[in-house]
Amino acid sequence: MKKKLLLILTLSITVLSFSQNDILLVTDNDFDINDNAAFYNSILTTSYTSVTLYDSNTNGIPTSTELDNYDLVIWFTGDDSLNLNFWSNGTSGNTELTSYLNNGGKLWIIGSDLIYGMYFGAPANFSTGEFMYDYAWLASYDTQTFVDDGGLGVPQIDKNSNISISYPSPLTWVFSTLYYIDGVTPRTEGISVYEFGPATYPNAGETTMTFYENDTFSVMSTLFNPINIDASVTNGLAPSNDLDFFIQASLDHIFTSSLSINEDNYNEIKLNTYPNPSKDYFHITFNTDTLLNKEFEIYSILGKVVLKGKLTDFTTEVSTKHLAKGTYFLKVGNLSKKIIKY
């Protein structure tokens, strides 16, 4: 199996060789099948194009043996909340998916009403034996937009300021506000990625997207339907719209995160690069002496080390004059950043 072959490689190559990552997109959404196609097509705009589409409503739940052939499983429920195969074994989640994770899998679960589909409303505290506690690494289900905000819906979501991955922010919607997306509290060591906003929204600051990783599995939970992102907006330099930008950034996060992410106090360390995109040089900046004098490496999109150096100051200039135009990945300790040369 490809995943087992990748584990034989060094950690740096495994983490950064994006062209070798096989993705299975499981659609568990018969509410709006057009969303399934739209999300699949958005993935194909990213650098992760090895994607297999699997319709669980037609074909049933894929077996753990089938899932083991993939480096990442995306389980997409869209805006559906009824009769989800994800919850086929109750609050513990379906056994094929948990077996895949216990065997070292990566999972991205996506959908508004996903938690509501099992718990039928907030609040709910999660505990041992429940998928949301054991794998998604969530402590509680706190709120749902529209239902628990006086019928307003959330106008936008904002990237958590502690996240160093380049996500677009804020994300706004094709509607003025978005209904029925869930707000949660991560467990200790779970990472909040996006939160409700703006500050004037009654439930501002509630988490609606999380990430957790340990030495066995990783799970990203996106508790809204990305197809509702306003693709006419761009809160970044690339790619061309916030929907594609969001999906690219999320996949980057999943595939570039380190297995020892929590050991380096990830939420406290801010690693940044500028300008990005850049032409002949860029600067690496960071906010803690933990990274001072650490080695850095720059990888091509194929996982080849093309440049090495040391962070001798809190702002270190790196020349890229000898590099071809394209996408590269900077790795410093347990942190990674995508950089683009034009």
Written as one string, the DSSP assignment of 90-143 is: GGG--HHHHHHHHTT-EEEEE-TTTTHHHH-SS-EE--TTSHHHHTS-EEEEEE
Query: For residue 260, what pLDDT is reported?
Result: 30
Q: To the nearest whole number, what is the mean pLDDT of the chain?
A: 86
User: Is the per-residue pLDDT at 263 higher than 60?
Assistant: no
Query: For residue 336, what pLDDT is reported?
Result: 74
Q: What is d(CA 288, CA 281) in angstroms, rounded to the nearest whole number?
A: 23
Query: For residue 115, what pLDDT is reported?
Result: 96
Percent of the chain with pLDDT over 70: 89
In this structure, of 41-50, 117-126, 151-160, 325-334, the range with the lowest mean pLDDT score is 325-334
- Residues 297-310 have pLDDT tens digits of 898 877 788 999 99
Query: For residue 338, what pLDDT is reported?
Result: 76
In this structure, of 107-116, 129-138, 156-165, the range with the lowest mean pLDDT score is 156-165
- Residues 19-57 have pLDDT tens digits of 458 999 999 999 899 999 999 999 998 889 899 999 999
CA distances from residue 259 to 100, 104, 240, 256, 301 in whole angstroms, order as listed:
17, 11, 31, 10, 20
Task: Kindly report the number of other CB atoms within 10 A of residue 189's CB atom.
Answer: 13
In this structure, of 157-166, 181-190, 286-295, the range with the lowest mean pLDDT score is 286-295
Query: For residue 123, what pLDDT is reported?
Result: 92
- Evaluate whether 2-256 and 269-341 have a shared fold: no
Query: For residue 304, what pLDDT is reported?
Result: 81
Domains of the chain, by residue range, sit at 2-256, 269-341
Q: Are the beta carbons of 96 and 131 closer than 8 angstroms?
A: no
Query: For residue 326, what pLDDT is reported?
Result: 83
Query: For residue 189, what pLDDT is reported?
Result: 85
Q: What architecture does CATH give domain 269-341?
A: Sandwich (2.60)
Query: For residue 5, what pLDDT is reported?
Result: 34
Q: How far is CA 128 from the centre of its chain?
A: 24
Query: For residue 272, what pLDDT is reported?
Result: 80
Q: Are the beta carbons of 286 and 269 closer than 8 angstroms?
A: yes
Query: For residue 240, what pLDDT is reported?
Result: 73
- Residues 56-79 have pLDDT tens digits of 999 999 999 999 999 999 999 999
In terms of average pLDDT, the best of 144-148, 212-216, 262-266 is: 144-148
CATH fold group of domain 2-256:
Rossmann fold (3.40.50)
Q: What is d(CA 114, CA 106) in angstroms, rounded to the nearest whole number?
A: 18
Query: For residue 114, what pLDDT is reported?
Result: 95
pTM of the predicted structure, to 2 decimals: 0.72
Residue 212 confidence class, pLDDT cut points 50, 70, 90 = very high
Query: For residue 305, what pLDDT is reported?
Result: 85
H-helix segments, the chain: 2-8, 11-16, 33-43, 56-59, 64-67, 95-102, 116-119, 131-134, 242-256
CA distances from residue 73 to 40, 206, 257, 275, 292 in whole angstroms, order as listed:
13, 26, 16, 33, 36
Query: For residue 334, what pLDDT is reported?
Result: 63
Q: What is d(CA 232, CA 253) in angstroms, rounded to the nearest whole number?
A: 23
Q: Are the beta carbons of 142 and 195 closer than 8 angstroms?
A: no
User: Is the per-residue pLDDT at 269 higher than 80?
Assistant: no
Burial group, residue 191, by CB count within 10 angstroms (0-12, 13-18, 19+): buried
